Amino acid sequence: MKRILVTGGTGYIGSHTIIELYKNGYEIDVIDNLFNSKITVLDKIEEISGKRPSFYEIDLLDYEKMDKLFSDNHYDLVMHFAGLKAVGESVEKPLKYYENNVGGTVNLLKCMKDHDVHKIIFSSSATVYGEQEKAKLDESMITGIGITNPYGETKHVIEEILKDVSESDKEFEAVILRYFNPVGNHPSGLMGEDPNGIPNNLMPIIMKVARGEIKELSVFGDDYNTPDGTCLRDYIHVVDLAKGHVAAINKMKPGVLIYNLGTGKGVSVLEMIKAFEEASGKKLPYKIAERRAGDLPEMYADPTKAERELGWKTELTVEDAMRDTICYLNNL
């Protein structure tokens, strides 16, 4: 196993995973349509790791170009990060999300099948758990019920597609990694989450408030049944998340393996604000606003299956993530 195709490799999670893949001796090709990322990330990857992936500006919906790529290169494994991920935008533009995320993945899987590539690691999301009785989520739970947005639905549909492909092709090997809330940046401060446009997620918004691009953070509700009234989430450092992908490679086998990648702990919005203020030494302007539709009071991973079967668990903390975020902001 040497050569890996990383789709969405100039994105936040993909780029951080490439750093860890290089540390483990893999050769990397990247495809990305650069819709929500910048090609300059390749320079940062090279500066950090001393290696530069071959890059192809290809949209997964362009079957011809994808087919040629697989004809010209043999890949042992595909790591599939490419996808639109703005929850709010997915509600406004569902067809764009289904076409891009699901349609793009179908094209990718067809190319893999046509060119005898049998292994895929898929970037999924805890959103596939939808509404659950418990806040601590484990892989045995039923998914796909009560998902509140098309983004989460696309992740769920893709998981089902992978299971169906596995039923039809006994050589097919898939690992589904369900991310909780990725935060932080590479400790060098050279790479980080830098989405184009208005972000949805808490950390990129905190970063924009800290940079003065947004006046203040709106805390979406402080009247939940939680210790400080704000929602709890499982914030996982992106470097730990990246290492989870490397750990999954060596455990692949025919069939579909599913793992939560999270810390196993819930942290509140106010605790995140406090952690950022302690790391930055500055107050972060915020106000309490109305609840956001679709938000659950608390959700966090039961990460024991990944620890047991992959020998992986998180090592970094929210404080590490805030420190690395400040370092990244200072480099911008």
Residues that bind ligand WQD (CB under 6 A): 85, 87, 125, 127, 179, 181, 200-202, 205, 217-220, 231, 233, 269, 292, 295
Q: Which of 1, 289 has the CB closer to ligand WQD?
A: 289
Closest separation in Å from C-beta 169 to ligand WQD: 27
34/14 Cα distance (integer angstroms): 12
Q: What residues pair up with 52 in beta bridges, in sequence order?
A: none
Closest separation in Å from C-beta 16 to ligand WQD: 14
Q: Which of 151, 224, 235, 300 is catalytic?
A: 151
Helices (H), the chain: 12-23, 41-49, 63-72, 87-92, 94-97, 104-114, 150-168, 202-210, 238-249, 269-280, 304-310, 318-331
How far out from the chain centre does Cα 299 lie?
Answer: 16
Closest separation in Å from C-beta 116 to ligand WQD: 30
Closest separation in Å from C-beta 263 to ligand WQD: 13
Q: Which of 231, 275 has the CB closer to ligand WQD?
A: 231
- Please check whether residue 287 is in contact with residue 208, taking contact to mean a CB–CB distance below 8 angstroms: no
Q: Which of 48, 230 has the CB closer to ligand WQD?
A: 230
Q: Which of 65, 292 has the CB closer to ligand WQD?
A: 292
248/143 Cα distance (integer angstroms): 21
How far out from the chain centre does Cα 295 lie?
Answer: 19
Q: Is 151 annotated as catalytic?
A: yes
How far out from the chain centre does Cα 263 lie?
Answer: 14
Which residues are designated catalytic? 151
